[in-house]
Amino acid sequence: MPLFYSARHASALGEIAFAVDAHGALAALVFTDRDALATQLGPDAQIVADPARCAAALAELDAYFAGELRSFRTPVAPVVGTPFQRRVWAGLAKIPYGETWSYARLATETGSVARAVGSANGANPISIVVPCHRVIGADGSLTGYAGGLERKRALLLLEGSLLA
């Protein structure tokens, strides 16, 4: 099944690439370009340029970065991930805008252990929309983020869950 992408999109935090399925559900979202997107989706992914299919997701991302959107309506449909990873990603989706959870809390919510959810969190293919940036260390420290800790800090500042 083909996935569709738009040209690289400049966001407040750098270039973003994302892919949607035939129904407009997000399959992947990464900070960088189409090549990184292809890597995220795996070697068998068929990615076709189609900006029109991506318009709704793009509009929501722009509204989010403008501080006008707190909850994404675009559905997600990751094409990668084990059942355990998908369970953790579903747990991430429950973290409200403007809040952070520790890895321990996410582990409790998903019936696992912190180290395992940390690994699954790091493999999240749909950054921002599936808010892995909202997971922090038990001591409140910013830890691991595939997009880089400065982006994580910026996302948390945007959402008001981190003071400058």
Sign of the Cα pseudo-torsion (139, 145, 151, 157, in order): negative
Active site residue 54: no
Out of 17, 76, 132, 156, pick the active-site residue.
132
Q: Residue 141 is encoded by which pair of tokens? A: 């420290």
| The token pair that represents 142 in the structure block | 């910013």
CA pair distance 58, 53, nearest whole angstrom: 10
- DSSP letter assigned to residue 52: H
Please identify every residue annotated as catalytic.
132
